Amino acid sequence: MTKELFIQGITKFLFGVVLLGVLIFLPAGTLSYWQGWLFMGVLFIPMFVAGLIMMAKSPELLRKRLNAKEEQSEQKVVLILSGLMFLAAFVVAGLNFRFKWIVLPDIVTYVGTVLFLLSYALYAEVLRENVYLSRTVEVQENQKVIDTGLYGIVRHPMYMATLVLFLSMPLILGSIISFVIMLVYIPIIAKRIRNEEKVLEEGLEGYSDYKKKVKNKVIPLIW
């Protein structure tokens, strides 16, 4: 662990906390938005702990993830669309709390929280299974096809985890309107997967055979 890496990680973490807080609580017009605080907690506390563990055990992996930059032009579009989706969903959730457009029962928030934490655990398992997992679409040096564990069920278990993760966010925040907005993630991720599989087929030996073996991309028996 280096001082530079620690400062970089903490800076990005704090920036994320402040930015999300502004996006949620400013539209809500109050700090008494309890679902907002719950969401901030379940999102950032595990993230902070995971960052500390990665910094201690795999500093180079942490450095790579902090400095990852997308090279594929199609993926840059995906990132922009995803950013707009999150912006709209969080702002609308705050406004929904402020103006009481559609008030959901508290049980929805609790169910969303459980789903969110389960998706975090699923994401952690994907990280454990695939040492080549990257934030960007690329074929790494000496990369091999992973076809065991979750990768024996769907080709993109990371996206399976993020799909549950993202769709549970508006449930925690108690906003059905934000949930509808987050459904935009499905066509966005479908676009990313098309480009990613093209890159993998062209650059990763054995990936075409893997596609024939594992038919589903994200959701078992469905997609």
| pLDDT tier at 116, thresholds 50, 70, 90 | very high
Average pLDDT, the chain: 89
| pLDDT at 97 (0 to 100) | 98
For residue 130, the model assigns a pLDDT of 81
Cα–Cα distance measured from residue 103 to residue 149, given in angstroms and rounded to the nearest whole number:
40
Q: Half-sphere exposure of residue 90, counting CA atoms within 13 Å on the CB side?
A: 19
- What confidence tier does 69 reach under pLDDT thresholds 50, 70, 90? low
From residue 159, give the alpha-carbon distance in Å to each of 1, 47, 205, 217. 29, 18, 22, 9
Per DSSP, helices labelled H in the chain are 3-28, 34-57, 59-66, 73-99, 106-129, 157-172, 176-182, 185-203, 207-213
Would the pLDDT of 71 be above 80?
no
Residue 196 has pLDDT above 60, yes or no: yes
pLDDT band at 129; cut points 50, 70, 90:
confident
For residue 118, give the amino acid letter: L
Predicted structure pTM score: 0.90
pLDDT of residue 113 exceeding 60:
yes
Residue 190, both tokens: 């479908």
Instruction: Identify the pLDDT of residue 94.
Output: 98
Give the model's pLDDT for residue 140: 64
User: Of 168 and 192, which is predicted with more confidence?
Assistant: 168
Whether 160 shows a pLDDT value over 60: the answer reads yes
Domain ranges of the chain: 3-213
Residue range 183-209: mean pLDDT, rounded:
91
pLDDT band at 151 (very low <50, low <70, confident <90, very high): very high
What CATH number has the domain spanning 3-213?
1.20.120.1630
Highest mean pLDDT among 20-29, 42-51, 53-62: 20-29
